[in-house]
């Protein structure tokens, strides 16, 4: 029976190696595409910082629901085409759009005497958070898939708070939402990277989309918080 077991063991080992190769490929492609998305984001942010988007503030309720409609409609389109080159093109267009939306925040922060420093701090904090959490998610043996339900509930609560704050305009609630976005997005990074490493996520376009939104939320939230608490007048 020993000779009969060897081919089976060999096949099992080969199968395990193939799975590991596929997981590494998904992770590598995700990080590569994630780096590429920073280019249209930067272009969009530059455009947004030089455009007059004040009309978004004149009708905040209509603007919020319009942006949310475009945001989730675009995500749906990306997921629908996640197995083709069109998915990549849609993703890059999506990051350009979010970069434009980032423009007014950058405008406001760069208006401070230390605006450039605040932007650098937000970018550095985001990078440290992402790479630190990615390292943890990739190295620990724990399976974070159980976080899925908790994250769904957290997402619903945050979105309800966002909508409520559009109506009530409570400063304390706005600050709480920014902090909640940072915590929630950090947990998303842990969840998503862990899913890739453990084989739960096999599509690099979907993975990139999830991680990009998390990174975007951390950066924009940090930038706003730094502007509120650290901005210096001219």
pLDDT along the chain (234 residues), means of 10: 44 59 87 96 91 76 89 96 95 96 90 92 96 92 87 94 90 95 96 90 94 97 93 70
What pLDDT sits at residue 140?
A: 86
Cβ count near 110 (within 10 Å): 14
What pLDDT sits at residue 220?
A: 96
Q: What is the largest CA-CA distance in the chain?
A: 83
What pLDDT sits at residue 6?
A: 43
What pLDDT sits at residue 51?
A: 81
SS3 232: coil
Q: Which residue has the tokens 């060897």?
A: 6
What pLDDT sits at residue 28?
A: 93
Is 64 within 8 Å of 55 (Cβ atoms)? no
pTM to 2 decimal places: 0.89
What pLDDT sits at residue 96?
A: 96
Is 201 within 8 Å of 148 (Cβ atoms)? no
Angle at CA of residue 15, ends 12 and 21, nearest 5°: 145
């Amino acid at each position: 029976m020993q000779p009969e077991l060897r081919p089976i063991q060999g096949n099992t080992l080969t199968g395990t190696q193939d799975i590991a190769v596929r997981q590494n490929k998904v992770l590598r492609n995700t990080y590569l595409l994630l780096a590429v998305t920073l280019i249209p984001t930067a272009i969009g942010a530059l455009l947004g910082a030089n455009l007059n988007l004040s009309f978004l503030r004149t009708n905040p309720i209509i603007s919020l629901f319009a942006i949310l409609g475009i945001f989730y409609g675009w995500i749906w389109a990306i997921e629908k085409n996640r197995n083709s080159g069109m998915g990549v093109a849609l993703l890059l267009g999506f990051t350009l759009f979010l970069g434009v939306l980032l423009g007014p925040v950058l405008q406001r922060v760069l208006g401070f005497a230390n605006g450039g420093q605040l932007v650098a701090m937000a970018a550095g904090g985001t990078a440290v958070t992402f790479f630190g959490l990615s390292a943890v998610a990739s190295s620990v043996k724990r399976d974070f898939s159980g976080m899925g339900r908790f994250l769904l509930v957290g997402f619903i609560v945050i979105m309800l708070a966002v909508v409520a704050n559009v109506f009530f305009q409570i400063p304390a609630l706005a600050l709480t939402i920014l902090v909640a976005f940072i915590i929630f997005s950090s947990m998303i990074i842990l969840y998503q990277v862990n899913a890739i490493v453990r084989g739960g996520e096999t599509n690099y376009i979907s993975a990139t989309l999830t991680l990009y939104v998390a990174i975007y939320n951390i950066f924009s939230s940090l930038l706003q918080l730094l502007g509120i608490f650290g901005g210096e007048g001219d």
